[in-house]
Amino acid sequence: MSRTPLREALKVLANEGLVVLEPNRGARVSLITKQDLDEVFPVMGAFEALAGELACSHVTDAEIAEITALHQDMLKHYQDGDLEHYFIVNQKIHEALLAAARNATLTAHYRALSARVQRARYVANMTPSRWAQAVAEHEDIITHLSARDGAKLAATLRAHLENKLRAVSQQFERSA
Q: Is the pLDDT of residue 15 over 80?
A: no
Both 165 and 118 in one domain: the answer is yes
Both 101 and 137 in one domain: the answer is yes
Both 17 and 79 in one domain: the answer is no
Domain of residue 22, residue span: 1-30
3-state SS track over 80-111: HCCHHHHHHHHHHHHHHHHHHHCCHHHHHHHH
pLDDT, tens digit (0-9, with 9 covering 90-100), for 49-71? 999 999 999 999 999 999 999 99
Both 41 and 107 in one domain: the answer is yes
Q: Is the pLDDT of residue 9 over 90?
A: no
Q: Is the pLDDT of residue 18 over 80?
A: no
pLDDT, tens digit (0-9, with 9 covering 90-100), for 92-133? 999 999 999 999 999 999 998 887 777 776 656 578 899 999
Both 49 and 26 in one domain: the answer is no
Both 7 and 75 in one domain: the answer is no
pLDDT, tens digit (0-9, with 9 covering 90-100), for 145-157? 999 999 999 999 9
Both 74 and 159 in one domain: the answer is yes
Both 37 and 26 in one domain: the answer is no
Decide: pTM greater than 0.75: yes
Both 16 and 37 in one domain: the answer is no
Written as one string, the DSSP assignment of the chain is --HHHHHHHHHHHHHTTSEEEETTTEEEEPPP-HHHHHHHHHHHHHHHHHHHHHHHHH--HHHHHHHHHHHHHHHHHHHHT-HHHHHHHHHHHHHHHHHHH--HHHHHHHHHHHHHHHHHHHHS---HHHHHHHHHHHHHHHHHHHTT-HHHHHHHHHHHHHHHHHHHHHHHHHH-
Mean pLDDT for 163-171 is: 86
Number of domains in the chain: 2
Domain containing 115 — which CATH number?
Answer: 1.20.120.530
Mean pLDDT for 72-88 is: 95
Both 22 and 8 in one domain: the answer is yes
Both 14 and 39 in one domain: the answer is no
Both 39 and 63 in one domain: the answer is yes
Mean pLDDT for 11-17 is: 75
Q: How confident is the model at residue 10 (pLDDT cuts 50, 70, 90)?
A: confident
